[in-house]
Amino acid sequence: MRITDVRFERLHGTYRTSAGHSVARQVGALDVYPEYRGRRPQAGDVYDDLGERPISEVYVFVDTDEGITGTFGPIYVDQAFQIDLHLRQHLIGKDPLATERIWDILSRQDRHARRGYMMMAISAVDMCLWDIRGKAAGLPVYRLLGGPTRDAIPAYVSTLGHATEPERVFSQARAYLEEGYTAQKWFFPCGPGDGQAGIETNMAMVRAAREAVGDASELMFDAWLGWDVPYAIEMGRRMAPYNPAWLEEPVAPDRIGAYAEIRRATGIPIAGGEHEYTRWGFKVLLDAEGVDVIQADPDWTGGITEMLKICALVSAYDKPVIPHGHSTLPALHLIAAQSPAVCPRLEFLIVHNPSKQWFHTEQFFPEGGMMRLPQTPGLGITLDEDRIESRTPLSWR
């Protein structure tokens, strides 16, 4: 089998849902500047999912001479650009089942391939190759990886985009508990630039969430890179009595020493790694004792091929890997093939993950807090032609 083409399409359609989620903004790295801190949410940040809106997503397709096509998406247009301009030349004519060889070539072909959009592009290619392997074998990817280790995967609800006013947090957290979720993650609205009032606003959200679920649910909280060390330490100490399962990304990801300092000073678990790349980056983070939970994202950190190595590395440090949930299926396949001690659960972004599956024939949503496993060969991405109103081929060559 040989790769004959690598191509891209932007799919256009109309996203329809009856699930209404309030538009809300979270603290972020740009909040250090007042003009960004005061900005209201824009359509590109978070959106109200009630009703209809136009939707367009980019997909990558890797074709072979045996008629099997690997499909993955949605991806960022920046990833597609890197694949088309830089990676495609290393793929045409190659054996798509030789994923280790291809990954090594793609990671070596450019000295900037270690991180960022180039590594994210490699991740998307790798996902297509695993899709081809599964289709060629007639098996879901997790079967090729040694799974399943469980019949279904526990999912935690991630509330990016939800309103953060205490009364709304209380009602929504209680509703998720009643739906069967045993863990929830909430996103802080305020950071250092919001002063003491912002601290009180953040803590009101923490209290409301804990009061809503009692001791029956784990609660995680995400600062989305928007804090500094003193602020994170003060917030961590205030949060400690509410027994958070973790505080996520309190500062920018490259400030590894700061992660370790916050972890030591607060005594609460720290999570991170969503914006880290490859096993070598995670080894530095682990050696610094900066995190308790690793959140590598298969869409970004090198694909399934590299995630297998990251899981093996992290397990040697006795830390769990709970993949960041940029998309659902790659993480689901990976987790289903790992021990529950290594990958205990799946993140499901309740506002964003449904729209990312809009063009898929089969969609995956937690039921009773559990996610079923795909049964179709490959990753399980089959495009629903009835939802595709038009296609735009993309190329930069």
Q: Which residues are catalytic?
A: 324
- Residue 339: CB partners within 8 Å, gap ≥ 6? 149, 315
Beta bridge partners of residue 367, listed in sequence order: 370
Query: What is the distance between the alpha carbons of residues 199 and 334, in angstroms, rounded to a whole number?
Result: 37
- Residue 39: CB partners within 8 Å, gap ≥ 6? 25
User: Which secondary-structure segment (H or E) carries 294?
Assistant: strand 293-294
> How does DSSP assign 99-126, residue by residue?
HHHHHHHHHHS-TTTTSHHHHHHHHHHH
Query: What is the distance between the alpha carbons of residues 311 and 306, in angstroms, rounded to a whole number?
Result: 9
* Composition of the chain by helix, strand, coil, percent to 5: 40, 20, 40
Q: Which pair of structure tokens corresponds to residue 289?
A: 């004792």
Query: What is the distance between the alpha carbons of residues 298 and 274, in angstroms, rounded to a whole number?
Result: 9
Q: Is 358 helix (H, G, I), strand (E, B) or coil?
A: coil
